[in-house]
Structure 1
């Protein structure tokens, strides 16, 4: 199954950085889709502990990360020590195909069932799929609090939102495909929403950074289904950026970590996983908005507008995620997508989600 737009070239990481003591006698290779800037704090914290290994972190796009992990598994080649991806359906597929090593610990046993599949795939974050807008450009009455509101904004022929609403390109982004397919499974509004996107000339683009950049500079008035961790991080730099947790329902993603079957340092990878699930590890992830605190008395402090009516729907790490990866279903879904966004550029090589 080729997910990266038919490319045959060997995929390569988009960025690489190392952490920890140069004189360390052991190395831990971690590959992930999380931006280095967002994951750096927790990597530094782990690497600063006495006797820690040197960590090499490679930042990848989700489709390419899946492809290289799958290829190494099939060839029996030495792999990364840990793979962390926002495209959690692809992570479950890797484990289902026998490409993961089990890890059991007190920390993993505490995970809820939706965040631990067969002790092979583990949810390490808690991030919301949000609607992002620029408060300088939208009046209070225009802010969409739900998918119903978004459809209403796009309905008029003379809507000023025509061509100025954007979302992920599901062929370029594994995360985008996951969110869109989850919408199709969960929402009675999906048919109306995708029809409104097509009628109004909505834009499909590659990645979170491009979506948020477009909202910040006014190219887009609204970005839909954006990963909230990146939106809230940008809001710290630009107070005009606001994220809304839709009150009809809000998808909740836990980035999935797995230890490849051919990892060189599976014990070190297990120790790193336990650290990510520890109090100090989670505090570090929370500081980068990778764990959303949805029970805050003042949600505006996080610039995440949420109402008591918001229904949070976790994307569970279960075999049900494999439904969207069935080749026939995927072809049908991508065909529907292409008919909605006929002018998109397709699945080019892109930055990570």
Structure 2
């Protein structure tokens, strides 16, 4: 019956699924935390949604009376370009930068844009989550497949990339035109996930071919993709940030989440203290807080350290074996993703799959 309903819905649905929202250029949102008459102000720029990271900022400020934090939310590509420009100009603006585009953050460190710092807290991080005492991974978030629980039959839910390929293989697949993923030209995170996929397994080429053949949708951004899966404009979405998906799922049970069991990419958002920061000590205190037990509890509560990657948490997303997890480490190896020729070649293939309208 659910399969018949799915076909009926696809036949008569009149809701458009393309051209939803364009990429936001520049600064997206700004919010101030702490007292207006604070004696010190810290400027934090981040790609993390304010509503997600705000409670973490509040938890830190509870330990620092008299400090104010101005939080600017940016898209990853714009944040990268702005940070590079301010580094070249020697501008003293941001005191902290946190980005999901960790390949871009490695590039900034490599261009001598970061201040060095070491403490007991940073030394406790695994080597893969710290580089040159100038860049630190502060979160742990999986790239997941999401689906609409009401419209996708249980037997169709893809548990691996091979399952997803099987769904898209038949001529006239009901999922044609109803699968979404990040636009990797507009999303630094989307590019990083796709590039990591291409290096991780042979399935990426087959997936890309299937996406092109079945007119999959590439769009920005996490919130848009998840909302449109919940509302049925898309049936499935690939490589979505699991922290945002789980946060949405807590409010809307129509979202289902799968950690692919063939392998699951794990992102750690990277934090950098710009070398031009005028509040280096406060920025370092914020970093140490995030790596402390209290800070990690706040990050877990915000789902930025995902419970899906730990013990069974009661959600439908099964716990994976450690061998299925593929963390993105902070290392010079990520610079390959930003090599001009490599990037252009990769994007050229992407455009052949998702041509511009």
On whether the aligned pair clears a TM of 0.5, the verdict is yes
Gap regions ≥5 residues in structure 1? 1-10, 345-353
Counterpart selection for 2:340 from 327, 335, 341: 327
SS at match of 1:132: strand
SS at match of 2:27: coil
Partner of 1:286: 300
CA shift digits 1:138-173 (9 cap, x unpaired): 111100001000011000111000000000000000
Counterpart selection for 2:87 from 66, 73, 85: 73
Counterpart selection for 2:199 from 175, 179, 185: 185
Counterpart selection for 2:183 from 164, 169, 174: 169
Alignment partner of 1:129 is 2:117: no
Q: Is 2:181–2:237's contact at 8 Å kept on the other side of the alignment?
A: yes
CA shift for structure 1 position 303 = 4.5
Partner of 2:354: 341
Partner of 1:3: none
CA shift digits 1:245-276 (9 cap, x unpaired): 00010000000000001011111100000001
Q: Is 2:312–2:319's contact at 8 Å kept on the other side of the alignment?
A: no
CA shift for structure 1 position 302 = 3.9
CA shift for structure 1 position 343 = 4.0
Partner of 2:106: 92
Partner of 1:48: 62
Q: Is 2:56–2:302's contact at 8 Å kept on the other side of the alignment?
A: no
CA shift digits 1:210-263 (9 cap, x unpaired): 110110111111000000000000000001211110001000000000000101
Provide the C-alpha distance between the structure 2 equivalents of 1:291 and 1:173, rounded to a whole number of angstroms: 21
Provide the C-alpha distance between the structure 2 equivalents of 1:298 and 1:24, rounded to a whole number of angstroms: 43
SS at match of 2:199: helix
Gap regions ≥5 residues in structure 2? 1-24
CA shift for structure 1 position 305 = 3.5
Provide the C-alpha distance between the structure 2 equivalents of 1:231 and 1:190, rounded to a whole number of angstroms: 22
Provide the C-alpha distance between the structure 1 equivalents of 2:247 and 2:316, rounded to a whole number of angstroms: 10
Alignment partner of 1:197 is 2:211: yes
Provide the C-alpha distance between the structure 2 equivalents of 1:297 and 1:67, rounded to a whole number of angstroms: 38
CA shift for structure 1 position 134 = 1.3
Q: Aligned ranges for residues 1-353 of structure 1 at < 5 Å?
A: 12-294=26-308, 296-299=310-313, 301-308=314-321, 311-343=324-356
CA shift for structure 1 position 331 = 0.4
CA shift for structure 1 position 87 = 0.3
Provide the C-alpha distance between the structure 2 equivalents of 1:268 and 1:148, rounded to a whole number of angstroms: 47
CA shift digits 1:185-215 (9 cap, x unpaired): 0011111111111111111001101110110
Provide the C-alpha distance between the structure 2 equivalents of 1:221 and 1:310, rounded to a whole number of angstroms: 29
CA shift for structure 1 position 56 = 0.5
Q: Is 2:312–2:318's contact at 8 Å kept on the other side of the alignment?
A: no
SS at match of 2:343: helix
TM-score normalised by the chain length of structure 2:
0.91
Distance 1:307 1:257, change over 3 A: closer
Q: Is 1:32–1:85's contact at 8 Å kept on the other side of the alignment?
A: yes
Stretches (4+) displaced over 2 A: 293-299, 301-310
CA shift for structure 1 position 45 = 1.1
SS at match of 2:286: helix
Equivalences, count? 333
Provide the C-alpha distance between the structure 2 equivalents of 1:257 and 1:321, rounded to a whole number of angstroms: 15
CA shift for structure 1 position 51 = 3.4
Partner of 1:6: none
Distance 1:296 1:179, change over 3 A: closer
CA shift for structure 1 position 124 = 0.3
Provide the C-alpha distance between the structure 1 equivalents of 2:192 and 2:164, rounded to a whole number of angstroms: 20
